[in-house]
Amino acid sequence: MTAAKRKAPAKRKAQPELAFLEGADLDRLAALVFELSSQLHAERHRRMALERALVAKGVVGEAEIAALADDQAFLGTAREAADRSLRKLLRILSEDGDRRAPLRKEAL
């Protein structure tokens, strides 16, 4: 067989290392959303109970809680904490390399 008659192997399209929601099972995704909603609801109730207990014990007043919720320094700190938490959750999307190995920051 001559070189001209030999067929070159078909090039495979490169697959991304991680593919999210490709062929997603919508029932499982909906279950995840409902589970997260349930957890958020439970956390909200616990926070409200904690605030109520602190006010009832005289540790803090409702006005202080309301004022803190509008305090720019507190909000900045809370946003930074939320951003750090989200970065930890989303770093898997931005890291590359061998996915069986720890992420760079975890390896240190």
pLDDT tens over the chain, length 108 residues: 555 555 655 565 665 565 655 666 777 777 778 888 898 899 999 999 999 999 999 999 999 999 988 899 999 999 999 888 777 766 655 565 565 666 555 555
For residues 61 and 55, the answer to whether their CB atoms sit within 8 Å is yes
**pLDDT score at 1:** 54
Whole-angstrom distance, CA of residue 103 vs CA of residue 38: 30
Whole-angstrom distance, CA of residue 108 vs CA of residue 103: 9
Closest Cα partner for 87 from 105, 74, 102, 73?
Answer: 105
**pLDDT score at 80:** 94
* Rounded (10°) CA dihedral 51, 55, 57, 60: 100
Whole-angstrom distance, CA of residue 75 vs CA of residue 2: 73
For residues 18 and 99, the answer to whether their CB atoms sit within 8 Å is yes
